[in-house]
């Protein structure tokens, strides 16, 4: 009949509208579930990576500072609490020593040692002692104008893979800086040095020796008076 609405078409359209409206929340739920699963996987990866990175340990050698024969400029102090063992090197002419540290991967995956930094001992830091060659890698500290790096720190950049259970022994050469400055009788403590950059499963972070510290003591030859 002309002008009358088609009731059949209206009735048939109702189920289609209900089905379409039901699809929207289902898609949203699926999206939320996928995002939640990815977040859980991401958090799990961060947790595992952080744990594996923490299993890369850094500590001083039993003879933390090794000097050439006839150079007696090192002493070890036992301090409470903990105790903390402090390896003290005096800034004076003739200093030719090496600070010895170990990096060991005690984790279950391969880790990468990406660099090492020793504060105050940079190429242009002005202190009474500067760092030299990093053995056995044969590296010298970056130049003072290295992009984004402080001249005060001696920084070495490298990539050394450490398999699970593998250890890397490093020796940082130390020498007297005639133009440097270290107050006579004063002691500069570097409690988180050297700092070693490590990555495990793609997560980077710094590792430092625990329970031990390294210090520099000024002498008459390095005194800041008059400089």
Domain interval for residue 90: 55-222
The SS3 call for residue 22 is helix
**Residue 33 included in any domain:** no
Residue 147 in this model has a pLDDT that exceeds 80: no
Residue 210 in this model has a pLDDT that exceeds 90: no
Please report the pLDDT score of residue 78 as a whole number: 58
Q: Which residues, in sequence order, are CB contacts of 207 under 8 Å at separation 6+? A: 53, 56, 57, 58, 103, 195, 196, 197, 198
- The total domain count for the chain is 1
Looking at per-residue pLDDT, the higher value among 181 and 71 belongs to 181
pLDDT, averaged across the chain = 79
pLDDT in tens, 13-65: 555 555 555 555 767 777 777 777 777 666 666 676 677 778 889 998 878 88
**Residue 76 included in any domain:** yes
Give CA–CA dist 118/140, Å, rounded: 12
Please report the pLDDT score of residue 27 as a whole number: 72
CATH number of the domain enclosing 92: 2.60.40.10
Q: Specify the range with the lowest mean pLDDT, choosing from 6-15, 51-60, 159-168.
A: 6-15
pLDDT in tens, 88-104: 888 888 888 899 999 99
Please report the pLDDT score of residue 72 as a whole number: 47
The SS3 call for residue 104 is strand
* Mean pLDDT, residues 129-149: 82
Please report the pLDDT score of residue 205 as a whole number: 85
Looking at per-residue pLDDT, the higher value among 9 and 187 belongs to 187
Highest mean pLDDT among 121-135, 140-154, 199-213: 121-135
**Residue 208 included in any domain:** yes
Please report the pLDDT score of residue 96 as a whole number: 87
The SS3 call for residue 226 is coil
**Residue 67 included in any domain:** yes
**Residue 88 included in any domain:** yes
**The pairing of beta strand 129-135 with beta strand 167-176:** antiparallel
**Residue 145 included in any domain:** yes
**Residue 180 included in any domain:** yes
Which tokens go with 45? 């990866």
**Residue 205 included in any domain:** yes
Please report the pLDDT score of residue 156 as a whole number: 94
Q: Specify the range with the lowest mean pLDDT, choosing from 31-40, 153-162, 201-210.
A: 31-40
Assign 3 a pLDDT band (cuts: 50, 70, 90): low
Highest mean pLDDT among 22-26, 28-32, 83-87, 211-215: 211-215
């Amino acid at each position: 009949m002309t002008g009358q609405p088609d009731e059949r078409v209206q009735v048939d359209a109702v189920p289609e509208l209900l089905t379409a409206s039901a699809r929207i929340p289902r898609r949203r739920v699926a999206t939320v579930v996928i995002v939640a699963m990815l977040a859980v996987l991401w958090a799990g990866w961060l947790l595992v990576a952080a744990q594996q990175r923490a299993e890369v340990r850094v500590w001083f050698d039993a003879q933390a500072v090794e000097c050439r024969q006839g150079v007696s400029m090192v002493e070890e102090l036992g301090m409470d609490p903990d105790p903390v063992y402090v390896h003290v090197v005096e800034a004076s002419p003739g200093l030719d020593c090496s600070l010895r540290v170990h990096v060991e991967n005690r984790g279950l995956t391969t880790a990468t040692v990406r660099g090492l930094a020793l504060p105050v001992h940079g190429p242009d830091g002005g202190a009474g002692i500067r760092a030299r060659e990093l053995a056995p890698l044969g590296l010298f500290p970056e130049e003072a104008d290295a992009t984004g790096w402080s001249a005060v720190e001696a920084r070495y950049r490298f990539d050394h893979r450490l398999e699970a259970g593998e250890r890397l022994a490093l020796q940082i050469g130390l020498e007297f800086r005639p133009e440097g400055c270290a107050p006579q009788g004063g002691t500069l403590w570097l409690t988180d040095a050297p700092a070693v950059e490590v990555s495990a499963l793609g997560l980077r972070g710094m590792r430092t020796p625990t329970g031990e510290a390294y210090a520099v003591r000024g002498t008459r030859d390095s005194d800041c008076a008059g400089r």
